[in-house]
Amino acid sequence: MGSRLGRAALAAAVLALQIPAPAVAAAPAARLPTAAQLKACPLLADLDLRKIAAETRPYPGWRAQMDTQHAMTRGPVGAGFTPPDDAQVTIRIWAGGSETQQVQIQTSSIVWKDAGGTWRMNRVDFSNAPPPPPPIWDGTGTPPPPMTQADIEAQQRTLTQGRLAPAQAAEIERTLADPCFALQPDALPMNLPVKRGREPRPPCWGVTGGTLEIRWADGRRRDVTELCGGFYARGAIDAVMYAKAAEGA
């Protein structure tokens, strides 16, 4: 698990360097919590939410950039996959490796709640490690065909799909229904500003994080970036990033 969290942290760092932070795909909604709401959402209480909102800038090219990342990670195994049109909710997340890693692993994970209320998942993991060489031909019979680039790319990818594990589905439902998640800023920077007189927070390098791209059937969309982890999106981020198929699914 440590290595998986490590690559997720590195991916968050890489993404933060590529995208102005804090940044969101569209202009952020102004929804500063009241004192009563902050009392019910203690993880947000020390943050200078007004400053975060003022410094968050729209980044229109972000969604296209993420589409490209997902397509590259999925390659020939999961290219072009989209959930059914009648899905009630669709959520996806992307995580990538670091250039400092000899073997990089990228993940493109998509979960959705189908028309019947069942959560399902489709996840592609891509490793740039070379696949094992084909068996050596012993000179008898027909020689095996040469391995093509498409063969190599297919072997470097693992597709997992099916009904989402119940615990992960429950965590996503809990997050989406959490009023504190609704109040959380859409973009939390790595250097979190705090209110005057509150204990400063160290930069959050080395923790898991990512961006939930949430789409509802009624047209609503929300992109929630939590690079620092430990806030109200974290449970859903972990559930989507590490999505597993239910036993027997």
Q: How far apart are CA 126 and CA 106, in angstroms?
A: 5
pLDDT of residue 206: 52
Q: How far apart are CA 217 and CA 32, in angstroms?
A: 26
What DSSP line would sit under 45-81, residue for residue? TTB-HHHHHHH-EE-TTHHHHHHHHHHHHHHHHHTT-
Q: What is the pLDDT of residues 170-221, one digit of tens each?
A: 999 999 999 999 999 988 887 888 998 888 877 766 555 678 999 999 999 9
Q: What is the pLDDT of residues 71-99, one digit of tens each?
A: 999 998 888 899 999 999 999 999 886 55
Residue % of the chain over a pLDDT of 70 = 82
Please answer whether residues 247 and 198 qualify as being in contact, where contact means their C-beta atoms are separated by less than 8 angstroms: no
* ω into 200 cis (within 30 of 0): no
- Break the chain into its structural domains and give their ranges: 2-80+87-131+147-241
